[in-house]
Structure 1
Amino acid sequence: MRTEPIQQRSAERITLLLDAAATLIDDAGIDGVTTSAVAKRSTSSVGVVYRYFPNIQSLLRALAARNMERYLERVWQGVENSPPEPWSSFDATLDAFIDMTRHEPGFRALRFGDVIDQRFISPELSNNAILAREFASQVGRTYDFEPDDDIVFHLEVAIEIASGLLTRAFQLDKNGDARFIEATRDLCGTYLRTHIPLPRT
């Protein structure tokens, strides 16, 4: 039998540690994520945790980055399956976030790390600024043009509006307060269609 490549074993171990941290967040909140708790939940040793993550903040940062990666993957799938009407992909983008908040372990409390630090993923950009640039790139690819700073700005404004409203929607209700969710859909959808008019694809 061939031994698994070291890189593959390391990737699997990191996934196990991140999964353990996500479960701990659901059970006891972010403060419940400690090195010893992650080691126990993942059936690893404390030394193994430290081998990959020198401290809890680095582990949470990695989990936040994975959350964003998984979210953006779902966003791109929604864009590809959306009808040609301008901003038709917005609902799928919003629904992906809502579904992850409801079902992705640890996501409701951690999201992209913005609850800990607005620049948790990047030291130079806020998490919402990163999302705005990702969305702008996707819009540019879909409609075959180069997004300018105004488009990035308006996307970031819409994301900030959505972030605040969705935080409130899930603050007291694990499934999300439907009124705040629909207010998010209405306000952000209207803002995007008003400030970034797009043609049919």
Structure 2
Amino acid sequence: MTVAQGRQASGRKGGAPLRRVPVQERSAARVQRMLDACAELVDELGYDGLSTTLLAERAGVAIGSVYQFFPDKRAVVQAVTVRNLETYLQHISRRFTDGGLRHWWDGVDAVIDEYVEMQRSTPGFRGLHFGDIVDTHLLDEHRDNNDVIVGKLRDVLVERFDLTADERLDFALTIAVETGDALIKLAFRRTPDGDPAVITEAKALIRQYLANYVTV
């Protein structure tokens, strides 16, 4: 989470509740270490095993530094989840604007591939996903996290592939996101790195489903 992101989140009722926005580089770096430590500990111990004391020890900061910026461990986990979600959306946006995707179904593959890659390589992501275990309304108090993702995906699909933006597309993307989320979780339950057969089927199923709704 950058300083600007922290400021944006702290001023948003559905965002990560930073007590104090780090304005100096040293403070911002300290917050980053806390988030990194939190992600590592969630992978190792799960949310229930996490404590602010362990977090402070892993991050190499005083326990008072944790409470200077976060009221409790839940707030730190929320901040990690916001960071993961923003990173995912940035990756998707980059893939969609790089020019390598020729058709909307290439975009479906890119969305799934980026999600799978974060599951494999991003600390804390597999245990937290997009905040399921903590708060389903991290970015918007009126919409859950997947609804926010649907809106972002709709915007980039419409812009990149000249799709028709309407309620049918929103509905179809909602079904696609929820289905893809469930199937990818299944893939990672089957094998530690995600069962390639399940991931391939997820892509095919979602492309086939969206083909009934997507119009250009």
TM-score by length of 1: 0.88
Paired position in structure 2 for 1:131: 149
One-letter amino acid of the structure 1 residue matched with residue 51 of structure 2 = T
Provide the TM-score with structure 2 as the length reference. Answer: 0.83
Residue identity in the other structure for 1:123: E
Please report how far the alpha carbon of residue 92 of structure 1 lies from its aligned counterpart in structure 2 after TM superposition: 1.4
Matched, 1:59 2:76: yes
Q: Distance in 2 between matches of 1:33 and 1:172?
A: 26
Work out whether residues 162 and 184 of structure 1, in 8 Å CA contact, stay in contact via their aligned partners in 2. yes
Q: Does the 8 A contact of 1:170 with 1:177 survive in 2? A: yes
1:31 aligns with 2:48: yes
**Residue identity opposite 1:62 in structure 2:** A
Query: Within 1, Cα distance between the matches of 2:215 and 2:206?
Result: 13
Change (3 A) 1:168 1:117: farther
Residues 1:140 and 2:158 aligned together: yes
Alignment gaps of 5+ in structure 2: 1-21
Which sits farther off after the overlay, 6-15 or 43-52? 6-15
User: 1:85 deviation in Å?
Assistant: 2.2
- CA spacing shift, 1:49–1:141, aligned 2, 3 Å: same
Alpha-carbon displacement from aligned partner over 1:141-170 (angstroms, at most 9, x marks no partner): 224577223222211110000111111111
Distance 1:21 1:183 in 2: 33
Letter aligned with residue 47 of structure 1: G
Structure 1: which 5+ runs fail to align?
A: none
Residue 181 of structure 2 aligns with which residue? 163
Distance 1:181 1:194, change over 3 A: same
Dislocated runs of 4+, deviation >4 Å: none
Cα RMSD over matched residues?
Answer: 1.9
Aligned residues: 194
Identity %: 31
Does residue 85 (structure 1) correspond to residue 103 (structure 2)? The answer is: yes
Asked if structure 2 preserves the Cα contact closer than 8 Å seen for 1:132 and 1:153, the reply is no
2:31 to 14, 22, 38: 14
Q: Residue 72 in 1 paired to residue 89 in 2?
A: yes
Q: Distance in 2 between matches of 1:179 and 1:87?
A: 18
Distance 1:193 1:115 in 2: 32
Q: 2:125 aligns with which of 97, 107, 111?
A: 107
- Write the deviation string for residues 36-79 of structure 1: whole angstroms up to 9, x where unpaired: 01100000111100111101111111111100111111111211
Instruction: Give, as a single letter, the amino acid of the residue that structure 1 aligns with 2:85.
Output: M
Alignment equivalent of 2:62, drawn from 35, 45, 49: 45
